[in-house]
Amino acid sequence: MDNLKCPYENHGQLEKRPLKRQTYEQMYCGDWYDCTYPGCNYSLLIPSEEILKLYAREAKASE
């Protein structure tokens, strides 16, 4: 996944968060992208396939 941009104007592209800087839970959830613009804390999570499957299963179970 690339070409992800911060929703704020002129902030530019989001950078993939290095695995080193992630907790185990964050890695498990999927890929994290951060805005590198100074002072901007915008980040985006692209859910992993495991998580999406899990969610689909839970949605079915609660029907």
Instruction: Check if the beta carbon of residue 33 is closer than 8 Å to that of residue 6.
Output: no
CA-wise closest residue to 8 among 46, 40, 44? 40
Q: How far is the CB of 37 from Zn ion (least distance, A)?
A: 4
Interface pick for Zn ion out of 42, 43, 44, 51 (rule CB under 5 A): 42
CA-wise closest residue to 27 among 37, 18, 39? 18
Give whichever of 31 and 34 is closer to Zn ion, judged by the CB atom.
34
Q: Footprint of Zn ion on residues 12-41 (CB under 5 A)?
A: 35, 37, 40
Residues that bind Zn ion (CB under 5 A): 6, 8, 11, 35, 37, 40, 42
